[in-house]
């Protein structure tokens, strides 16, 4: 996959000539940047195991992002520019190294802007023995074409569905088209990936896991997302996993966007009740204690 001369890797389709060194809307240019590659113990149990004793996911955190969420917990790398240059050859070595450390999967976090490096690195690592399921950890803002392009590479889609309301998506992530784009991408993920498949130890090998983060003051929008998710499941006939999250912590510009507090028990219960009513019972909920900063690892270039 060649470095784009008019980038359309994400729905922004900003047209940046990245081969000539221009940076796209996302901030990515002609050199791949990453911030961490290590075992991560805070993904869902079917991916990482027990947070204290589980093997963990082999997680690679890539720099930059096509979304501009004002409350992003990973904002130093998504919007702050933190990252270290990594070559395709080194990236393949990193993938293999995570497998050697005992990771249950290879977890690629926000990788779309770097696909011209990531795909050949996966090819090279597989040729040298990489056998881990590939988890594509995405904010959900993907084109259908990108999802299709990733069919030979991705085993598990770990995707957000952030908003049902275009106005809220515009205010918090500068992406009014997010609800429509996310739904179309998720439909394609379900169709091409199919129902969840587990190994003998209960670790997910194939399937789609959808994260819905309840935001303070916006429980009604989370319920609307769940309603659309249930409808999509009925339409495709493909089972999926739900991760209904209450871990919101006010990071970055959250306070100025009206998100300067944690989610209340009432707000989260409203979303949980909706999920049960809609039959979205296969997956995970979170305890109140999950709203803590440990979910954000140090972006200290470990493993790079």
Which pair of structure tokens corresponds to residue 298?
């140090």
Domain annotation covers residue 60: yes
Domain annotation covers residue 17: no
Domain annotation covers residue 302: no
The reply to whether the predicted model has a pTM over 0.85 is yes
Give pLDDT tens digits for 171-185: 999 999 999 999 999
Give pLDDT tens digits for 213-232: 999 999 999 999 999 999 99
Domain annotation covers residue 5: no
Give pLDDT tens digits for 65-112: 999 899 999 999 999 989 999 999 999 999 999 999 999 999 999 999
Q: Sort 101 into a burial class: Cβ within 10 Å, 0-12 / 13-18 / 19+.
A: middle
Q: Which domain holds residue 126?
A: 26-295
pLDDT at res. 295: 64
What Å distances lie between residue 144 and 66, 180, 207, 284, 291, CA to CA? 15, 11, 17, 26, 32
CATH number at residue 259: 3.20.20.70
Domain annotation covers residue 32: yes
- Domain count for the chain, please give it: 1
pLDDT at res. 54: 87
Q: Is the pLDDT of residue 302 over 60?
A: yes
Domain annotation covers residue 50: yes
Domain annotation covers residue 268: yes
Q: Name the residue among 250, 231, 128 with its Cα closest to residue 187.
A: 231
Q: CA 182, CA 89: separation in Å to the nearest integer? A: 32
């Amino acid at each position: 996959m060649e470095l784009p001369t008019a980038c359309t890797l994400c729905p922004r389709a900003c047209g940046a000539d990245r081969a000539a060194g221009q940076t796209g809307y996302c901030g990515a240019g002609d050199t791949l940047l990453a911030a961490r590659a290590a075992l991560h113990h805070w993904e869902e149990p079917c991916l990482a195991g027990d947070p204290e004793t589980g093997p963990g996911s082999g997680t690679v955190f890539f720099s930059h992002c096509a979304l501009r969420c004002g409350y992003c917990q990973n904002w130093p790398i998504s919007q702050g520019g933190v990252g270290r240059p990594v070559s395709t050859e080194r990236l393949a070595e990193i993938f293999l190294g995570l497998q050697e450390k005992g990771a249950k999967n290879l977890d690629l976090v926000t990788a779309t802007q770097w696909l011209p490096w990531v795909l050949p690195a996966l090819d090279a690592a597989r040729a040298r023995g990489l056998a881990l399921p590939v988890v594509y950890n995405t904010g959900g803002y993907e084109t259908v074409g990108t999802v299709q392009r990733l069919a030979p590479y991705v085993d598990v889609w770990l995707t957000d569905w952030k908003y049902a309301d275009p106005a809220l998506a515009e205010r918090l992530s500068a992406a009014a088209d997010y609800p429509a784009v996310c739904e179309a991408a998720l439909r394609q993920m379900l169709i091409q990936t199919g129902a969840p498949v587990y190994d003998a130890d209960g670790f997910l090998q194939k399937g789609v896991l959808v994260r819905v983060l309840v935001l303070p003051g916006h429980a009604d929008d989370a319920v609307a997302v769940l309603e659309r998710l249930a409808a999509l499941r009925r339409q495709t006939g493909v089972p999926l996993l739900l991760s209904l999250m209450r871990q919101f912590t006010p990071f970055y510009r959250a306070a100025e966007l009206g998100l300067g507090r944690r989610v209340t028990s009432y707000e989260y219960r409203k979303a949980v009740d909706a999920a049960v009513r809609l039959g979205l019972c296969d997956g995970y909920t979170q305890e109140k204690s999950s709203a803590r900063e440990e979910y954000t690892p140090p972006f200290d270039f470990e493993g790079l």
